Amino acid sequence: MIKVGAITIGQSPRTDVTQDILPLLGDQVELLQAGGLDGLTREEIEAFQPGPDDYVLISRLRDGSSAVFAERYILPRLQNCIDQLEQQGVELILFLCTGDFPAVFHSKVPLIFPCKVLNGLVPALAGRSRIAVVTPTPQQVAQSENKWREYVSQVTVIPASPYGSPEELDRAARQAAEMDVDLVVMDCIGYSAEMKAKFHEISGKPVILSRTLATRVLMELLS
């Protein structure tokens, strides 16, 4: 049995994510989880609210709700997650977040960041370098636009939370249907395979889902 670590920036376990990735991992992989906000109350998490210059993150909490917070507050807590999982004997660690993290972590095992996987693959698949990106909150639109402009020539960002009402994503899919883009990137680990399928059905566009893409890359390293 191979032990693989998974770190959410929110609270573990991320049962909403594992429903899609466990079938891809198969019977020979044991998934051990840790979370950057584990052990914190809602009041403590609210103290991590982002300011105007902060890199904004959003994630799911254990009770099923979501929280928005600044990246800088949780970087040391994410390092603690890495240390904890290494002590449990994992061979790889997958981050359950598409955020763009600074190179501050140290690890004895490979760290897989979905952001880096997307950064490499999306330009290769977007033939005319035109994409639509779905991101959870309006607070992330500008930082998403700035990020993706480094990799493609044209990007349109649509805010629609994976933690909100299904109608929000349906509206975003209808917007994408009117766009002349090569593909849609669901740029948050919170979007599910079911959400992807419905988005594709409504928009008629090819859709990339970060959680399953990153898991398939992880399995390539293990096989």
Domain containing residue 45: CATH number:
3.40.50.1860
Print burial letters for 19-50: b (CB count within 10 Å at least 16), e (below 16): ebbeeebeeebebbbbbbbbebeeeebeebeb
H or E segment and range at residue 155: strand 154-159
Whether residues 77 and 126 share a domain: the answer is: no
The residue written with tokens 């607070």 in the block is: 139
Using the predicted structure, report yes or no on whether residue 97 has a pLDDT greater than 90: yes
Handedness of CA 212, 174, 205, 68 (dihedral sign): negative
Give pLDDT tens digits for 53-64. Answer: 999 999 999 999
Q: What does the pLDDT read at residue 46? A: 95
Q: Residues 157, 64: one domain?
A: no
Compute the distance between CA of residue 9 and CA of residue 97 in angstroms, rounded to an integer.
Answer: 7
Could you tell me if 145 and 86 lie in one domain?
Answer: no
Residues 104 and 120 in one domain: no
| Interval 87-98 mean pLDDT | 97
Instruction: Tell me: do 97 and 141 sit in the same domain.
Output: no
The yes-or-no verdict on residue 143 having pLDDT over 80 is yes
Give the span between the Cα atoms of 143 and 128, in whole angstroms.
22
Beta-bridge partners for 5: 32, 93
Q: Which residue has the tokens 């501050």?
A: 104
Claim to verify: residue 202 and residue 218 sit in the same structural domain: no
| 4 bridge partner residues | 31, 92
Contact call for residues 169 and 188 (beta carbons, < 8 A): no
Assess contact for 220 and 112: CB atoms under 8 A. no
Mean pLDDT, the chain, rounded, equals 96
What is the C-alpha separation between 165 and 182, in angstroms, rounded? Answer: 26
- State mean pLDDT over 142-151: 96
Does 50 share its domain with 123?
A: no
Residues 6 and 90 in one domain: yes
pLDDT category of residue 176 using cuts at 50, 70 and 90: very high
Q: Could you tell me the two tokens for 108?
A: 């004895």
Query: Can you give the pLDDT at residue 133?
Result: 98
Residues 110 and 11 in one domain: yes
* Domain co-membership, 166 together with 218: no
Within this chain, do residues 149 and 104 fall inside the same structural domain, yes or no?
no
DSSP state of 54: S
Q: Are residues 134 and 79 in the same domain?
A: no
Which structural domain range is residue 191 located in?
A: 116-209
Indicate if the pLDDT at residue 77 is higher than 80. Answer: yes
Q: Please give the tally of structural domains in the chain.
A: 2
The model carries a pTM of 0.94
pLDDT at 120 over 80: yes
pLDDT for 223 equals 77
pLDDT surpasses 80 at 22: yes
Q: Looking at residue 17, what is its pLDDT? A: 97
